[in-house]
Chains A and B, each alone.
Chain A
Amino acid sequence: MAKSRTIKVDYLARVEGEGALHIRIKDGTVTDAKLKIFEPPRFFEAFLRGRDFKEAPDITARICGICPIAYQMSSSHAMEEIVGARVDGSLRDLRHLLYCGEWIESHALHVFMLHAPDFLGFEDAIQMARDHPELVKNGLRLKKAGNTIMQVVGGREVHPINVRVGGFYRVPTVAELAALRPELEWGLGASIEALEALSALPFPEFERDYEFVALREQDEYAILGGRIVSNKGVDIPIEAFDDEFEEIHVAHSTSLHGRHRRRGAYLVGPLARFNLNFEMLSPEAQRAALKFGPGRTCNNPFKSLLVRAVELVHAFETAIRLIDRYEEPSQPSVPVPPRAGVGYGCTEAPRGLCWHRYEIDDEGIIKDARIVPPTSQNQACIEEDMMHFAGENVTLSDDELQWKCEQGIRNYDPCISCSCHFLNLTVDRD
């Protein structure tokens, strides 16, 4: 008789949002792996229609409490493209700095609070703090350093209020930014030390041949823009996204599954950026990656923990560089007179590509909006990982396998809340 097992996690912990995992195993073979996302959809794209284009950064920020800057930046860029506004020089640097703040708070949260406990066998960071107090305290302090950038440049950590289409409402003084420097210098050193300590964690041996997709810039580690590239030949401007990629609506998820039109599942986020743009990382980040791991390339999704730590080093070093060259711009924003058109924005959220497309009319009213968040793009990849990973570990007990699979999902730092905001509304009448 065939022997069947089902591994079920009904509510995934230490991820942002509501998801579940079901894995079916028959005669020692994994027959099905589903990341079930039951987060209620919030229909942002539907209610963006009819709003003023200048409201887009404030509205789209509410898609995600962990990475609001990603939404504010992608939407602002799209609107600025439509109205022909150029935000460069110090204003662009400020946006870059703000984004570094978001990367730091988001990555530090994930590395130290959400992901590391798995490797050390703790159910959460608070339990972990009893045996590894320095690791958790330093993690919290790193996170706070990122949040302080968010406060000074953005106004607050969650849903910053200072970003507008065309720039900012108020720009910080040179002195306000200089005051951040000592803590960021500490953060640079502490994140390198953290990478060294974390590289000693036990990483499961697991590698796959992924299609990595990320933005690429000629002169910097791409965060704010660039071309969309992959290790399997994609090299397109952001407006051609639909030519290469598609979104599929599957029954078990309120989040659309992203797929490459010909090659299927692809991976976005730290691992993709690292493998595609290693040479653009800051000098200390490159050095630390080569010295303490993960090395020059990394195909083990469990080591995304180390890649996030490398990106922490990069974000701290970049933030310091931006602060050192900062000159207060003469105006906090450039004019953005509305005109009809279509525009695209794509930036690197901590979890990967955050792609937006808007159409507005000549009075600046939004006619159409489309948003592709990173986690929906990673869903198919997560499921394939689970098929392979569970397959290689079927000998583990149910409890062990369940925890290992949870850990495997947390490799992607899934932000489920943001992944399912986009479906159009269907109604169950009450």
Chain B
Amino acid sequence: MNPNSQQSEARRKKTQRGKTRRKKPKLAVFKFASCDGCQLSLLDCEDELLAVADAVEIAYFPEATRATVKGPYDLTLVEGSITTPHDAERIHEIRRKSRVLITIGACATSGGIQALRNFANVNAFIGAVYANPAYIETLRTSTAIADHVPVDFQLNGCPIDKYQLLEVISAFLHGRKPNVSPHSVCMECKLSGTACVMVSKGTLCMGPVTHAGCGALCPRFNRGCFGCFGPKETPNTASAAATFRELGATDAEIERLFRSIQAAAPAFHEESLIAERAQNTNHG
């Protein structure tokens, strides 16, 4: 037994106050380029947080604690996308010490909103104004965690839904598959009896091609879905784009709809390129 595991063993015994209990799985939360909102979702589980902390050993979660326990970890949650050479290395290290690795949120799952850089004319960016460019080291693209290491499960959303997060953690603890349906936001509208904003008001809505999980939040607030949960399984983006066009959307608008918070998710990426090309053709 190495000194670290002795230490954590001692800590475990202390925290259990004499009770004999099964060894708790070790939970770690790592952050890459992101807004911190998805890991905050765990702290936003105000009613469940202490129960979660009871079911797992929070071994590494700097946003919440300065205490750290060395790996390997049983369950690792990864927030954020890979945007620097250092982070591209670091994710491999994290994968090596994680038994199960789950991405949380749009950044970790598809590159996030910062993947808009992937579409920029890089030379134009270099020419832009900055004080001391030499201080900043960054990659040309923002990429998903799965582009770098194998991932066991991806929970999408910008931000993720905290109840889905609890479901994923709980599924892991019980050794079962998370119950996260891959259907569309459209379906959630039907299930909640929300009138279709596209049919009834002509509002552009990404609901037909967007992954469920938010509970059809935007349509319930009288606005079109803007795709923050990323593509559903097998989305028909061409059909959605054609409908948007029928409703009077320009190619530039369609490009922006698909090229937004989930810009680098393959299905949305492809459709935004088609809309971009259509603009270039029309402008000669």
A14 contacts B by Cβ under 8 Å: yes
| Bound: A403/B47 CA distance, A | 29
Contact: B46 with A124, CB < 8 Å? no
A369 contacts B by Cβ under 8 Å: no
Contact: B83 with A42, CB < 8 Å? yes
Contact: B50 with A129, CB < 8 Å? yes
Tell me the smallest distance from the CB of A170 to a CB of chain B, in Å.
Answer: 4
A92 contacts B by Cβ under 8 Å: no
Selected from A42, A147, A332, the residue in CB contact (under 8 A) with B44 is A147
Interface with B: A56-64, A221-229, A230-238, which one? A56-64
- CB nearest neighbor in B for A43: B117
- Other contacts beyond A41-B138, A424-B125: 19, CB < 8 A: A12-B62, A14-B64, A62-B37, A65-B34, A66-B40, A109-B43, A114-B64, A123-B66, A124-B67, A129-B50, A143-B46, A158-B159, A170-B220, A249-B130, A425-B122, A426-B134, A427-B139, A428-B84, A429-B140
A321 contacts B by Cβ under 8 Å: no
Q: What 0/1 pattern do residues 33 to 74 of B give for CB contact below 8 A with A? A: 111111011011011011001000010001111110000000
Selected from A113, A415, A430, the residue in CB contact (under 8 A) with B140 is A430
Contact: A113 with B132, CB < 8 Å? no
- CB nearest neighbor in A for B65: A124
- CB nearest neighbor in B for A247: B131
11 contacts between A and B (CB under 8 A): A40-B138, A65-B34, A65-B38, A66-B40, A130-B15, A137-B50, A157-B44, A158-B159, A251-B132, A425-B138, A427-B126
Interface with B: A44-52, A269-277, A377-385, which one? A44-52
A254 contacts B by Cβ under 8 Å: yes
Chain A: interface residue total (CB-CB under 8 A): 74
| Bound: A105/B45 CA distance, A | 12
- CB nearest neighbor in B for A141: B46
Tell me the smallest distance from the CB of B161 to a CB of chain A, in Å.
Answer: 8
Q: Which 9 A-B pairs have the closest CB atoms?
A: A65-B37, A124-B65, A249-B131, A13-B66, A426-B133, A47-B116, A123-B67, A158-B159, A144-B46
A140 contacts B by Cβ under 8 Å: yes
Q: What 0/1 pattern do residues 206 to 240 of B give for CB contact below 8 A with A? A: 00000000100110111100101000000000000
B interface vs A, CB < 8 Å?
A: 15, 31-38, 40-41, 43-44, 46-47, 49-50, 53, 58, 62-67, 83-85, 87-88, 112-114, 116-117, 120, 122, 125-126, 128-142, 158-159, 162, 214, 217-218, 220-223, 226, 228, 253, 256, 260-261
A interface vs B, CB < 8 Å?
A: 11-18, 39-43, 46-47, 51-52, 55, 58-59, 62-66, 68, 105, 109, 113-114, 123-127, 129-130, 136-137, 140-141, 143-144, 147, 155-159, 161-162, 164, 169-170, 248-251, 254, 256, 332, 403, 406, 415, 417-418, 423-430
A113 contact set on B, CB distance < 8 A: 43, 64
| Bound: A155/B66 CA distance, A | 32
A406 contact set on B, CB distance < 8 A: 66
B220 contact set on A, CB distance < 8 A: 170
Contact: B50 with A66, CB < 8 Å? no
Contact: B122 with A52, CB < 8 Å? no
| Bound: A426/B140 CA distance, A | 8
Contact: A155 with B221, CB < 8 Å? yes
Contact: B130 with A424, CB < 8 Å? yes
Contact: A427 with B36, CB < 8 Å? no
Contact: A424 with B129, CB < 8 Å? yes
Contact: A47 with B117, CB < 8 Å? yes
Selected from B66, B84, B128, the residue in CB contact (under 8 A) with A40 is B84
Contact: B221 with A170, CB < 8 Å? yes
Contact: B126 with A425, CB < 8 Å? yes
Contact: B125 with A425, CB < 8 Å? yes
Tell me the smallest distance from the CB of A407 to a CB of chain B, in Å.
Answer: 10
Contact: B139 with A43, CB < 8 Å? no
Contact: A65 with B35, CB < 8 Å? yes
A124 contact set on B, CB distance < 8 A: 58, 64-67
Tell me the smallest distance from the CB of A130 to a CB of chain B, in Å.
Answer: 8
| Bound: A249/B134 CA distance, A | 11
Contact: A125 with B256, CB < 8 Å? no
Contact: A161 with B218, CB < 8 Å? yes
B138 contact set on A, CB distance < 8 A: 40-41, 425-428
Contact: A11 with B62, CB < 8 Å? yes
A136 contact set on B, CB distance < 8 A: 50
Tell me the smallest distance from the CB of B92 to a CB of chain A, in Å.
Answer: 15
| Bound: A46/B117 CA distance, A | 8
Contact: A46 with B128, CB < 8 Å? yes
Selected from A13, A140, A158, the residue in CB contact (under 8 A) with B37 is A158
B136 contact set on A, CB distance < 8 A: 41, 254, 423, 426
Q: Of B38, B87, B120, which is in contact with the most chain A CB atoms at under 10 Å from its CB?
A: B120
Tell me the smallest distance from the CB of A379 to a CB of chain B, in Å.
Answer: 14
| Bound: A59/B67 CA distance, A | 34
B122 contact set on A, CB distance < 8 A: 425, 427
Contact: A40 with B32, CB < 8 Å? yes
- CB nearest neighbor in A for B141: A430
- CB nearest neighbor in B for A428: B137
Q: From known contacts A46-B117, A427-B138, infer whether A66 and B37 are also in contact, taking CB-CB under 8 Å.
A: yes
B36 contact set on A, CB distance < 8 A: 16-17, 64-66, 415, 417
A425 contact set on B, CB distance < 8 A: 117, 120, 122, 125-126, 128, 138
B65 contact set on A, CB distance < 8 A: 13-14, 123-124, 126-127
Contact: B63 with A251, CB < 8 Å? no
B162 contact set on A, CB distance < 8 A: 157
| Bound: A14/B162 CA distance, A | 20
Q: From known contacts A42-B33, A147-B46, A158-B37, infer whether A127 and B125 are also in contact, taking CB-CB under 8 Å.
A: no
Q: From known contacts A40-B32, A147-B44, infer whether A332 and B67 are also in contact, taking CB-CB under 8 Å.
A: no
Contact: B63 with A46, CB < 8 Å? no
Q: From known contacts A14-B66, A64-B35, infer whether A169 and B226 are also in contact, taking CB-CB under 8 Å.
A: no
Q: Of A52, A58, A161, A425, which is in contact with the most chain B CB atoms at under 10 Å from its CB?
A: A425
Contact: B221 with A161, CB < 8 Å? yes
B139 contact set on A, CB distance < 8 A: 427-428, 430
Contact: A51 with B256, CB < 8 Å? yes
A144 contact set on B, CB distance < 8 A: 46-47
Contact: A161 with B33, CB < 8 Å? no
- CB nearest neighbor in B for A252: B135
| Bound: A415/B126 CA distance, A | 27
